[in-house]
Amino acid sequence: MDAAVTVTDLVVHRGARRVLHEVGCTVPPGRVTGLLGPSGSGKSTLMRAIVGVQQVRSGTVTVLGRPAGSAELRSRVGYVTQAPSVYADLTVRENARYFAALYGRGATEADAAIADVGLADAAGQLVQDLSGGQRGRASLACALVGEPELLVLDEPTVGLDPVLRVELWDRFHALAAAGTTLIVSSHVMDEAARCDRLLLLREGRLLSDSTPAELRSHTGSDDLEAAFLTLVRENEEVGASGQGREHRSEERARSGAPRGSEQVSRA
Amino acid sequence: MTAALSPTLTTATAGRVLRQLRHDHRTVAMLLVLPSALLGLLYLVWSDVPVAPGQPSTFDRVGLTMLGIFPFVVMFLVTSIAMLRERTSGTLERLLTTPLSRPDLLLGYGAAFGLAAAVQALVTVTVATTLYDLDVAGPLALVVLIAVVDAVLGVALGLLASAFARSEFQAVQFMPVVVLPQFFLCGLLVPREQLPGWLQAVSDVLPLTYAVEALQEVGASTEATGTMWVDVGVVAGAALLALGLAAATLRRRTN
């Protein structure tokens, strides 16, 4: 099956800084793809490029067979930013109904989306009176309401209690089973295990494009956090010795542990 | 590249902006009451000044003009802050990933605040002509119409100005930049014929000049004059131009 998203040699600059370095990856359709990496690694920038709101220096992003940001994609791609982007001075229901109208949907779909994120009881409340986690879910409902083919979610589970987090991940998998493609970013490695596919990003470079199982077997570690650490160290050593990053460095004995562990602890 | 206009999406956006307004009771109250209260203060300022026989009172002249200036100023401020909030809260970026086109968004704002201005003008005109005995020769409906067109001009310039503001502090300071020169040169403080020639030329290209002239026409003639309709057309054209420029400054892709 064709990839839902294909990113080729993507380079993004913000100001004078290069935040994505020739990133290339594919996202399979009907699956949950996790985009993982510490904060500042370029996850949000990559997501913005996929939904077509990021200025790009070079490279291409193809989404559902079209160039990212094409007018035709706007009804087929849903995007939830990291900070809840809903109107704080409207109720949950008013927000959902407005976004429903933008996607050509009605009040029924809006109410269903609110129920899907577990906010049915708070539907009449102003968003500004909700907790942070509830606001995030209201924001999610406003994307679900359009029933998009591709759903791009930037850290949707931050600040949620563990029960809700599990519920949301179940919902993501239910959506994927129904054919929706999801890209979900997170900086929490225990969420990596819930993804069908993993993109590991660090300092604007793609460290790995694999499945959780492949990552475990490649690094010989059951724990994904430790696996990520191993990948980071491999990469650090290559960088430190001045070699090209293409070189695999398992054979290198010198350890970059102090610097590596300090940086991963931010993850 | 601009997507086609959709009346449905424009209406949905106008409805959303009005619902936001409705939840903000204090703002609604201020929108409705403040112009009338300020006009009352102006009425009192001139209440003891003798009027030369056969001359219109100063309050009739200034008060009528204010009916056009209040909605312009208020809607400029409200809109530039509202749009800045769309930018900083991330809702603008999100809207730009939906099928909503940029003209739909801006026209939605124009329609919502234009409607709010119509209600405001109805209240203010009613209070001014009954409580403060404001004398208007022409139909009051025309005064309301001009007030609404002025408000839409304020909305359009507010949307445009918000593109150049990075913070609320900056947005608020665009108000004197955009409003005060137009106010000084519109012919209210000094008749335009008495301005230095180059200032007259500047005044000729400022839309508020035409808004004030239109109101003066309604104040002096019992029926709508050709000059008044041309003036209204100029103000509406300036509003459309500003909306077009504002749409051009809304970038879908940002850094």
Please report the pLDDT score of residue A191 as a whole number.
Answer: 85
Which candidate in B24, B96, B97 is best for mutational testing of the A interface (most A CBs within 10 A)?
B97
Q: Which two tokens stand for residue A64?
A: 């559902």
Residue B187 pLDDT exceeds 70: yes
Residue B113 pLDDT exceeds 70: yes
User: What is the C-alpha separation between A114 and B52, in angstroms, rounded?
Assistant: 67
Task: Assign A1 a pLDDT band (cuts: 50, 70, 90).
Answer: low
Mark yes or no for CB contact A126/B96 under 8 Å: no
Contacting residues of A for B19, CB less than 8 Å apart: 90, 94
Contacting residues of B for A98, CB less than 8 Å apart: 12-13, 15-16
Residue A85 pLDDT exceeds 50: yes
Nearest to residue B236, comparing CAs of B147, B163, B171?
Answer: B147
Distances (CA, A) of B40 to A28, A159, B64: 67, 52, 12
Please report the pLDDT score of residue A246 as a whole number.
Answer: 42
Contacting residues of B for A18, CB less than 8 Å apart: none
CATH number of A5-76+148-264: 3.40.50.300
Residue A245 pLDDT exceeds 90: no
B→A interface, C-beta within 8 Å: 1, 3, 8-9, 12-13, 15-16, 19-20, 23-24, 89-91, 93-100, 252-255
| Residue carrying structure tokens 């992003």 | A61
Contacting residues of A for B91, CB less than 8 Å apart: 85-87
Mark yes or no for CB contact A90/B19 under 8 Å: yes
Chain A CA closest to residue B99: A74
Mark yes or no for CB contact B24/A89 under 8 Å: yes
Please report the pLDDT score of residue B40 as a whole number.
Answer: 94
Smallest CA–CA separation between A255 and chain B, in Å? 37
Please report the pLDDT score of residue A88 as a whole number.
Answer: 95
Domain boundaries, chain B: 7-44+58-249
Q: What is the CA radius of gyration of chain B?
A: 19
The fraction of chain A above a pLDDT of 90, given in percent, is: 57
Q: Which two tokens stand for residue A52?
A: 């077509």
Contacting residues of A for B9, CB less than 8 Å apart: 101-102
A152-180 pLDDT tens trace: 999 888 777 888 888 889 999 999 999 99
**What is the separation, in whole angstroms, between the first and last Cα of chain B?**
19
Residue B172 is which amino acid? V
Mark yes or no for CB contact B253/A102 under 8 Å: no
Chain A CA closest to residue B251: A53
Smallest CA–CA separation between B89 and chain A, in Å? 6
Please report the pLDDT score of residue A240 as a whole number.
Answer: 62
Contacting residues of B for A89, CB less than 8 Å apart: 20, 23-24
Highest mean pLDDT (candidates A82-86, B14-18, B116-120, B166-170): B14-18
Residue A233 pLDDT exceeds 90: no
Element (H, E) at B151: helix B140-162
Smallest CA–CA separation between B77 and chain A, in Å? 18
A177 touches chain B (CB under 8 A): no
ipTM of the complex: 0.88
Please report the pLDDT score of residue A250 as a whole number.
Answer: 37
Smallest CA–CA separation between A74 and chain B, in Å? 5
Please report the pLDDT score of residue B145 as a whole number.
Answer: 94
CA angle B252, A23, A259 (to 5 degrees): 115
Residue B30: is it exposed, middle or buried by C-beta count within 10 angstroms (0-12/13-18/19+)? Answer: middle
Mark yes or no for CB contact B16/A104 under 8 Å: no
Full-model pTM: 0.86
Give residue B155's Cα distance to chain centre: 6
Please report the pLDDT score of residue B241 as a whole number.
Answer: 95
Smallest CA–CA separation between A167 and chain B, in Å? 25
Q: Are strands A5-14 and A58-63 parallel, antiparallel or unpaired?
A: antiparallel
Smallest CA–CA separation between A178 and chain B, in Å? 22
User: What is the C-alpha separation between B220 and B215, in angstroms, rounded?
Assistant: 9
Chain A CA closest to residue B21: A89
Smallest CA–CA separation between A201 and chain B, in Å? 19
A178-197 pLDDT tens trace: 999 999 998 887 788 889 99
Mark yes or no for CB contact A51/B15 under 8 Å: no
Mark yes or no for CB contact A54/B100 under 8 Å: no
| Residue carrying structure tokens 């996202």 | A27
Please report the pLDDT score of residue A227 as a whole number.
Answer: 82
Smallest CA–CA separation between B252 and chain A, in Å? 6
Strands in A150-153's sheet, in edge-to-edge order, are: A77-80, A150-153, A181-186, A32-36, A197-202, A205-210
Answer yes or no: are the C-beta atoms of B121 and B143 closer than 8 Å: yes
User: What is the C-alpha separation between A137 and A92, in angstroms, rounded?
Assistant: 10
A66 touches chain B (CB under 8 A): no
User: What is the C-alpha separation between B113 and B121, in angstroms, rounded?
Assistant: 12
Which neighbouring-strand residues pair with A206?
A: A201
Contacting residues of A for B23, CB less than 8 Å apart: 89-90, 126
Residue A253 pLDDT exceeds 50: no
Helix (H, G, I), strand (E, B) or coil at B225: coil
Mark yes or no for CB contact A89/B23 under 8 Å: yes
What value does the mean pLDDT take over residues B119-148?
A: 92
Residue A260 pLDDT exceeds 60: no
Query: What is the sign of the dihedral through the CA atoms of A211, A213, A217 and A223?
Result: positive
Chain B CA closest to residue A76: B98
Contacting residues of B for A101, CB less than 8 Å apart: 8-9, 12
What value does the mean pLDDT take over residues B91-98?
A: 92
Sorted by sequence, the CB contacts under 8 Å of residue B97 that are 6+ apart come out as: A51, A52, A53, A74, A77, A79
Of A141-145, A250-254, B208-212, minimum mean pLDDT range: A250-254
